[in-house]
Amino acid sequence: MSPATRPFHPRAWLRPLAVAAVLMLLAACGSAPHKPSSSQRRNPASAVPIAKNLGWSTKPADAPPADAANDVLFRAIGLVGTPYRWGGNTPQGGFDCSGLINYIYLTSTGLRLPRTSAEMAALDKPKVDETELSSGDLVFFGRGHITHVGVYVGKGRFVHAPNSGGTVRLDDLDGAYWKENFAYGRRVLN
């Protein structure tokens, strides 16, 4: 049967079309990467992208977003296992207790908190009893004066950077040490 007398099959064109699509995809995947523009290149000294000023504000947020407690919760849980380092305030360099809390709140809500646990405890925010804690509340510990801070994540648990040689971890407020030294909570997110 010659091509002119062969009956037309509607699916006959699908195979060549599928082959052409696969070849185009392979060609796209195999092409050389595009050279980044000068605004996309990285500064080797700081490993931070150099970008044009897009008019974004760098000042702290006036009020946290409505879903800030969830953002704080997920950020805090995501940092569990990060090494402790006195004075540390980044995942790469490690965290001390107040550095961890600052990082969590700044990166998840835009709120910039004071640097030390004692300064955080002195914030003009509502004090919260242990029985009234909500996810995202700060929890403070110490006898006589505040010496430690964490962030409450729910169900009687909090995330904190406990001590030298340790890592950021999730602990129970009912633990012997924490229960004995719990001072109060502060609701930073209203």
Q: Could you list the active site residues?
A: 97, 148, 160
Strand partners, 53: none
Three-state SS annotation for 21-85: HHHHHHHHHHCCCCCCCCCCCEECCCCEECCCCCCCCCCCCCCCCCCHHHHHHHHHHHCCCCEEC
Report residue 146 as tokens: 């505040």
Phi, psi of 33, deg, nearest 5: -65, 150
Nearest-Å Rg of the Cα atoms of the chain is: 27
